[in-house]
Structure 1
């Protein structure tokens, strides 16, 4: 298994793992999953597939953050050359820009409506969980 380090050099050196090897390994594991009938092996294969999914998802988010940060740094260097003081991005700002990029990507692929609808349903179910409800009246005195 691969241990993901927080280093930029690591990402550059082992990019082939995330681009080629992990997706190919995932496909191979899916084929094995279809062939096997042993419940222990099935569980192990599913765990490994979910681990690969997590790694790939984490790397895409991390690369998006790195791209946002590098773009900002480039702009700041240009501004510093013109005598402006540098402005450093907070994590919250990076998160906001990641969300904007995700929104634009979904909009371009045409999946924005379904994504927003899914988010709306999820939030509605969360709100519904905390709504007070009326208990049935069990007192016989009030019924008389």
Structure 2
């Protein structure tokens, strides 16, 4: 009897050694071509295509420029590499900015002394400037120039008007401090003015000033009209429909 031969399992995978070698050689050729084309300019590629030839010659290494020919020349950097936006081109000594308000080297601010030193601005400079602008306004005929001068005069008036109450309050406080120092020397307890006391003292000062200048009655009449207008605003009144019904 003939013995049955058992089938031998064979792998369906076939290894092609020649194809692998060809693939490796092709990849090497492509890599070599890419390395050659790295140094080729776009102009040479266009010229080769226009001629119909696919041959591109590699530039010799001697054509490559060095990084820096001389130490006094600037460094040559590739245009392919992006340059940072902020870079230190020239070394400049750093400037140290000092604020005199927070520097101990500048000393402490003496508010009273500062106001006394620069009080001439509100007493002499601004009033003189205002008079000069008024004289110029009489001579000028251009309407635009006249309006500009009026704006300057109104700005000076606002500065003087805003500075007057502050100066009055400072004078009241200075006078009170002077009296309290003298009282403290005699052994009395110091008394600190409240805001309400300062307001009362300011009203007294204003009253005396208006009385001396002769403008007290006009000021009182103006205040009376203003208060009457306020009262009229909040007074009840009849609606037009109610008057028609009657």
TM over 0.5: yes
Deviations 1:31-62 (A, max 9, x none): 333414233x4443322212211221223222
Q: Which residue of 1 aligns with 2:196?
A: 92
Structure with the bigger percentage of helix: 1
Correspondence 1:38 to 2:121: no
C-alpha distance in structure 2 between counterparts of 1:111 and 1:86, whole Å: 37
Distance 2:243 2:227 in 1: 35
1:94-133 aligned at under 5 Å gives the runs 94-133=198-237
SS at match of 2:240: coil
Pick aligned residue for 2:163 from 41, 45, 59: 59
RMSD, aligned CA: 2.4
Q: Which runs of 5+ in 2 are unaligned?
A: 1-109
Contiguous gaps of at least 5 residues in structure 1: 1-5
Count how many residue pairs are aligned between Structure 1 and Structure 2. 136
Q: For CA contacts below 8 A with separation 6 or more, give which structure has more relative contact order.
A: 1
After TM superposition, list the pairs within 5 Å mapping 1:13-32 onto structure 2. 13-32=117-136
The residue number in structure 1 matching 2:174 is 70
4+ residue segments displaced more than 4 Å: none
Bigger Rg, which one: 2
